A and B are shown apart, each in its own frame.
Chain A
Amino acid sequence: MHRIMSTVPVDAVMLEARAAALAKRSIKNESKRVGIDLAIRCIDLTTLEGKDSEGRVRSLCAKAMTPQPSRPDTPSVATVCVYPNLVAVAKDALRGGSVRVASVATAFPSGLSSLEVKLADTAAAIAAGADEIDMVIDRGAFLSGNERKVFDEIVAVKALCGPVHLKVILETGELGTYANIRRASDLALAAGADVIKTSTGKVGTNATFPTALVMCEALRDFARRTGERRGLKVAGGVRTTKQALTYLVIVNETLGGAWLEPDFFRIGASSLLDDLLMQREKLATGRYAGADYIPKD
């Protein structure tokens, strides 16, 4: 791996300073309106809990298609993201709409199973109708220097996915340094990831602004080198409109407006949608509605 991939150094201090500066962009009025609808369209509305049930998933799917029934101009989200066992339910509930089904796979969230199990997991999700697969990398292998294993597993899952969109979760909160995040990003892109994704949402540190920034830099350099655009997904801990808008700003000013589409940018979140709807309502009426005016799910 070291022979085919060079290491890109990353300086934490300046990276964080740049991310903090981007977080200070002031997004008001019309740009806030555009940003909120864009963020909604980019959401992977997610439920990944042991207690997930058919009823819960159907309810989430209804919200994914029609987030705010009282405002029919509210866009639908990009996907509903579930465990493989619930893909068929989601697929059924979303029939006829634009919302697609994403499934986590490959022994999510740890990724610590054999490749056979990971492939079987992925195959089951695809067979059940998943349009997109969110796989995890083996962080232990990456950190111990066995990058070949990480690379080969992504290649194998991608081969199985075929046209199914593959998102590769780096679990940045476990990688320790921004240079590692950059290296894992480069590795996943080289192995064929359609999208590189920050986190499972299952560890202490999930998506952060500097993490998104360094991953954008990897995507930008990849596009520059190969002419090919790949996507970014931030996940975990994105709860507020302000955070979502900052991620849009980071993508906008690092990759450019062409990346601000659900094909190239996603936010994995559950409660974020409610805050976006509340801010959307505020822009429409000039007043904040109570939380109970937003359908909960």
Chain B
Amino acid sequence: MTTFEYAPAPESVRPHLRERYGLFIDGAWQAAQDGRTFETIDPATEARLAEIAYASAADVDRAVRAARKGYEKYWRKLKPADRAKYIFRIARAITERGRELAVLETMDGGTPIKESRDFDIPTAAAHFFYYAGWADKLEWAMRAGRTPEPLGVCGAIVPWNFPLLMAAWKIAPALACGNTVVLKPAETTPLTALALAQIVQEADLPPGVVNVIPGDGATGAALVEHGGCDKIAFTGSTEVGKTIARRLAGSGTRLTLELGGKAAHIVFADAPLDQAIEGVVNGIYFNQGHVCCAGSRLLVEERVHDEVVARLTERIATLRLGDPLDKNTDIGAINSRAQLEKIDELVRSGIADGAELVQQPCTLPERGFFFPASFFTGVQQSHRIAREEIFGPVLSILTFRTPDEAIEKANNTPYGLSAGIWTDTGSKNMWVAQALRAGVVWCNTFNQFDPASPFGGYRESGFGREGGVHGLYEYLAG
């Protein structure tokens, strides 16, 4: 028998990485007022990548003031078509430096290069292209008689799972609508946000229009509590989202929240099973499951349960876990040690609750944070692994007997971000989709994104929509 092993295929592009990064405020690189810094590491090797200035409350204040000045002095006065030119410039620069940004994203966050290269970065660029096109056509987004007016200064707090893409989701519509932005990237993944700041600088945006202030939760809290923002856009955990909502209640500050999820992925017995398995694999193992809309609860019609489990077991054995920079890697590194510990804790709770764990057979690299592609069978609705967001490559498999039962179980969650349905019966696909309480329902596919398509949640998955014409309303008054 021939062995057809894949030789290492490491991405050869090496990004230009600075030793130190400052804060990007008012169009210039600045040290933190108190000189504080933190390190960002490569989660696949635990090697230090760069030293980053840490923004504390005083720096947040500087950034918000710079954004206000940028808004009043330049951005709100600019002709919409000229705003579009700047945004197009950013889009083009992201495209031109796509490979370098992809490598940076992978090094800082652990996502496989094939995903950062083919999804994260192109989709980020696509958002800037899409919203650049809207900048001088906002009247057409409004109801008759309404005039589009910007809100002012927008604080954007983004997570570590899709760092540049989440920044793009917020910055692109904000700028198109005439707002200025203070972006707070996640503590573990500041590098592409800082690369974006470089792009903004080179694109010659007026000072203060985009500001980037790396830091941790305290920095984000300072931005929320500052009071100088007209709007806060947050993507992250439901817990933090609730805190922000409480802080801003009654303040008049606009808020959009894109929070956690525990999406039901429903596989009916009449589904195209081979493709459904691919959808399930994409749904839970894409980006190591660090996806808020991950299809993390698989609801399988009981009569095909064993077959689905057998096929999934075979399929995950072919997943390639390892160096995220290798072009053939399917499962990269877990974003941080803290996240790895959280995944581990929830997996142990699943075992303790009596569910059965299946994992891909593989050796984990000695260094770095890795977790094998995993799923649980015999999961009950009452188990923690059926209710809490694991945010890792761990799927919980439950069963149902009838469509009504599938719908009931799918909706029996405090979340409502996404859902998936697999059936070859078109009409069933449609009426089940209607019955699911989720912001996005994918039919015979999963994880499809387009800048023209709105995305957002129900209930504890948040409110407000990002993407499409709906995404504009979150950044417009009137």
Contact = CB atoms under 8 A, between A and B. Distances in A.
Interface of A: 8-11, 13-15, 17-18, 24-32, 34-35, 38, 214, 217, 248, 252-253, 257-258, 260-261
A257 B445 contact: no
Interface in B247-291: 270-276, 278-279
B114 interface: yes
A28 B275 contact: no
Contact of A27 (B2, B6, B114, B279): B6
Interface residues of B, number: 26
Contacts of A260: 1-2, 4
Contact of B424 (A9, A31, A253, A258): A9
A13 B444 contact: yes
A214 B278 CA distance: 13
17 contacts: A8-B273, A9-B271, A10-B274, A11-B272, A17-B278, A24-B118, A25-B6, A25-B327, A26-B9, A28-B7, A30-B7, A31-B5, A31-B6, A34-B3, A38-B4, A248-B4, A261-B1
B103 to A, nearest CB: 15
A32 B7 CA distance: 8
A120 to B, nearest CB: 38
B179 interface: no
A260 B2 CA distance: 6
Contacts of A13: 275, 444-445
Contacts of A14: 272, 275-276, 278-279, 444-445
A29 B1 CA distance: 20
A15 B444 contact: no
B2 A29 contact: no
Contacts of A25: 6, 327-328
Contact of A34 (B2, B273, B328, B445): B2
Nearest to B6: A31
A28 B9 contact: yes
Nearest to A42: B2
A18 B270 CA distance: 20
A167 to B, nearest CB: 21
A31 B444 CA distance: 34
A26 B318 contact: no
B421 to A, nearest CB: 12
A234 to B, nearest CB: 16
A264 to B, nearest CB: 10
Given A10-B274, A26-B9, A34-B4, 16 more contacts: A8-B273, A9-B270, A9-B424, A13-B275, A13-B444, A14-B272, A14-B276, A18-B278, A26-B328, A30-B5, A31-B7, A34-B5, A35-B4, A38-B2, A38-B4, A257-B3
A28 B327 CA distance: 11
Contacts of A8: 272-273
Contacts of A38: 2, 4
B122 to A, nearest CB: 14
Interface centre among B3, B4, B114 (most CB of A within 10 A): B4
B444 A11 contact: yes
Contacts of B318: 253
A26 B444 CA distance: 28
A15 B275 CA distance: 6
Contacts of A9: 270-272, 424
A134 B245 CA distance: 69
Contacts of A34: 2-5
A258 B445 contact: no
Interface in B306-342: 318, 327-328
B275 A11 contact: yes
A38 B4 CA distance: 9
A15 B274 contact: yes
Contacts of B444: 11, 13-14
Given A11-B424, A13-B444, A25-B328, A257 B2 contact: yes
A50 B1 CA distance: 38
A9 B8 CA distance: 36
Interface centre among B6, B8, B318 (most CB of A within 10 A): B6
Contacts of B3: 34, 257
Nearest to A34: B4
Interface centre among B2, B279, B445 (most CB of A within 10 A): B2
A252 B3 CA distance: 9
Contacts of B270: 9
Nearest to B113: A26
Contacts of B328: 25-26
A8 B271 CA distance: 9
Contact of B6 (A26, A217, A261): A26
Contacts of B5: 30-31, 34
Interface in B76-134: 114, 118
B350 to A, nearest CB: 28
Given A9-B270, A13-B445, A257 B7 contact: no
